[in-house]
Amino acid sequence: MSDGAARTAPPEKAVVVVTGGSAGIGRASALAFAEAGMRVVIAARSEERGAGTEREILDRGGEATFVRCDVTSPDEVQELFARTVERYGRVDCAFNNAGIPGDGRLVDLTPEDFDRTIAVNARGLWLCMREELRIMSAQGGGSIVNNTSVHGVRTVFPGIGAYVASKHAAVALTRTAAMEHAHEGVRVNALAPGPIESDMLAASEAAVGGATTWRGLIPSGEIGTPRQVADVALWLFSASSSYVNGQVIGVDGGFLAT
């Protein structure tokens, strides 16, 4: 491997935790991280799909462990990271990807609707970051990547206010953590994907027009793939991004530039 290739790859045998790792961007990222030589801990609520991702990585010769975890539960989040440290001794990287949609006009949402979206996309993110930051600070460094959305940078559509609010909160948490822990060797960045091939994009067809509407907004006219998101996360885990901290990077075909 050339020096350039080494810099663009994550540390050899680095331990990475992927939340929401059983489907969509999370699953594709877990597979990509394992392919790059990382030891992957897959966290998800679905035991069937999470175990399936674990098996796929193992069948390909990678190293993976599935831990069932609901990121809204402080106890389950603590257990996830306790089991990771028990098995591997450290957490080098984390991809906080777990998230849910939050459809509905603000005046039509129930408190339960709003609270559920915030609980997963913002509070759940903070619960995971809290454990990651504690571990990484103590071990002398690490890299955290939070999967947010272009909706966390710009309010794109009406009718998804809870989701937009949760993603703005995720961006704020990213930047705050980056400031608070930079001196400890911990970098915290965020991805802001645009439309990505996924169940969530398909489900948005009724509310906002899904892929058809997005193609008219993206300069390239193309819908992204989960692997394209994973590749940017891999770069943020590598030495090539060592001076990148507190940033929100669009993975959006140029949408945020318009």
Q: Is pLDDT at 132 greater than 90 in this prediction?
A: yes
pLDDT (tens digit per residue) in 189-245: 999 999 998 777 666 665 556 777 788 889 988 999 999 999 999 999 999 999 999
Contacts of 222 (CB under 8 A, 6+ apart): 215, 253
Distance CA 64, CA 58 (A): 7
The amino acid present at 248, given as its one-letter code, is: V
Does 26 map to a domain?
yes
Q: Which residues pair with 146 in a beta bridge?
A: 96, 190
What was the pLDDT predicted at 213? 79
Does 166 map to a domain?
yes
What global pTM score does this model have?
Answer: 0.94
Q: Are 188 and 146 in contact (CB under 8 A)?
A: yes
- How much of the chain exceeds pLDDT 90, in percent? 83
Structural domain for 59, as ranges = 11-251
What is the domain count for the chain? Answer: 1
The mean of the pLDDT values for the chain is 93
Distance CA 122, CA 165 (A): 9
CATH number at residue 104: 3.40.50.720
Does 243 map to a domain?
yes
Does 257 map to a domain?
no
Residue 11 banded pLDDT, cuts 50, 70, 90: confident
Is 88 part of the annotated catalytic residue set? no
Instruction: Considering only residues 162 and 207, tell me which one the structure prediction assigns the higher pLDDT.
Output: 162
Does 38 map to a domain?
yes
Does 162 map to a domain?
yes
pLDDT (tens digit per residue) in 18-74: 999 999 999 999 999 999 999 999 999 999 999 999 999 999 999 999 999 999 999
Does 70 map to a domain?
yes
What is the 3-class SS of 199-252, one letter each residue? Answer: HHHHHCHHHHCHHHHHHCCCCCCCCECHHHHHHHHHHHHCHHHCCCCCCEEEEC
Q: Is 95 helix (H, G, I), strand (E, B) or coil?
A: strand
Active-site option among 163, 214, 235, 255? 163
Does 256 map to a domain?
no
Q: Minimum mean pLDDT among 34-38, 106-110, 151-155, 209-213: which range?
A: 209-213
What was the pLDDT predicted at 1? 42
